[in-house]
Amino acid sequence: MMIEVGKKFGRLIVRAREGSAYRCDCSCGRQAIFTEDDLPTVKSCGCIVILGLDLATNCGWAVRYSWRSPAAIKCGVFSVGENNAGEDMEWEEKYALAGNQVYRLIKEHNPDFVVIEQPEHSIRRYGRSGKGGVDRAAVQAFIGRLSAILFKYGLGSPQAAQAVSSIAGGSNNSNQMQLAGIAGAAIAACIISGAPYGTIGARSWHSLAYRDGTKPGEGEDWKDVAIRQCELEKIPLPSTKKDKRDAAEAVFISGCWVKCNLPNIKWMRDRWMALRTNAYAAKAKREGIAA
Ligand SMILES: [Zn+2]
């Protein structure tokens, strides 16, 4: 079957048939020649685009290009906390907004891989009841009822009830609990778009990104460290301090894609391995790349 000139495969556009293969322009500015069998899987000349996501109510994103300097990294933020009218969103709506925003980012920047900071799973860990162990859910339910009764008779406050329930093993940090939902929506957007993804824990990427041991100074947090590093590498950040804080971490998350934890999904693992080993660039070279 012939492939039509002008057809797109990821960042490649087919320009001409050459023998039994096709010469393509890649959006990175290079050309590559691939066979008809290769084209549906390669998606680029071998260049790699990585999208990094620092998910929260205010999400940071960054797009990194393998063939450009760090100064060419694009980054920004999007919020899932409120709608266009400035009204607060419910949990479920935040997830939907996150999925939609990540889907748009993938469509716009066409990443080969998406890196997401791993949300904490502490809630699930506490909620499990082992054999012979305490059933945390039952304890929580009991304490919840007890607090409600005490409150009814003027013997407690909502704050006290929350404190008691958090001692019982639940977490009342609802922002933290929402992270898993926001990440799930982002992952769904990756799967729908055919973009492989991986996750990386905050501690892991901090030690990878700041190899010189840079740590937050007096009155600083990790976001301040990320801003400082971006300024050192001349990476353009958004203009406001708040947006800078959310975007800067995404820049360094995107740089850690090689060390990600991958989901157990075969096509994603295959694609990630091909990206890591630069298999597509090697293939293009074998088949006659004009670099
Ligand atoms: Zn390319």
DSSP-derived 3-state class of residue 25: strand
Cβ atoms within 10 A of the Cβ of 204, count? 16
pLDDT tens for 173-189 read: 677 889 999 999 999 99
| Residue at token pair 């859910």 | 137
Find residue 62's DSSP bridge partners.
52, 75
Q: Could you tell me the distance, in angstroms and rounded to a whole number, from the CA of residue 27 to the centre of ligand 1?
A: 6
102-120 per-residue burial string, b: 16 or more CB within 10 A, e: under 16: bbebbeebbbbbbbbbbbb
Domains for the chain: give ranges and CATH numbers.
1-45+265-291 (no CATH), 50-117+194-260 (3.30.420.10)
pLDDT tens for 192-222 read: 999 999 999 999 999 888 888 888 989 999 9
CA 224, CA 151: separation in Å to the nearest integer? 42
pLDDT of residue 176: 80
Q: Could you tell me the distance, in angstroms and rounded to a whole number, from the CA of residue 288 to the centre of ligand 1?
A: 14
Residues, CB within 5 angstroms of ligand 1 (ion): 26, 28, 44-45, 47
pLDDT of residue 125: 45
pLDDT of residue 151: 65
pLDDT of residue 251: 97
Q: Could you tell me the distance, in angstroms and rounded to a whole number, from the CA of residue 10 to the centre of ligand 1?
A: 10
- For the chain (length 291 residues), average pLDDT per consecutive 10? 89 91 93 90 92 96 96 96 86 95 96 94 52 62 71 62 56 76 96 96 90 88 93 95 95 95 95 92 72 44
pLDDT of residue 20: 84
Q: Could you tell me the distance, in angstroms and rounded to a whole number, from the CA of residue 44 to the centre of ligand 1?
A: 5
Q: What is the DSSP letter of 212?
A: T
Q: Could you tell me the distance, in angstroms and rounded to a whole number, from the CA of residue 212 to the centre of ligand 1?
A: 31
pLDDT of residue 146: 73
pLDDT of residue 191: 96
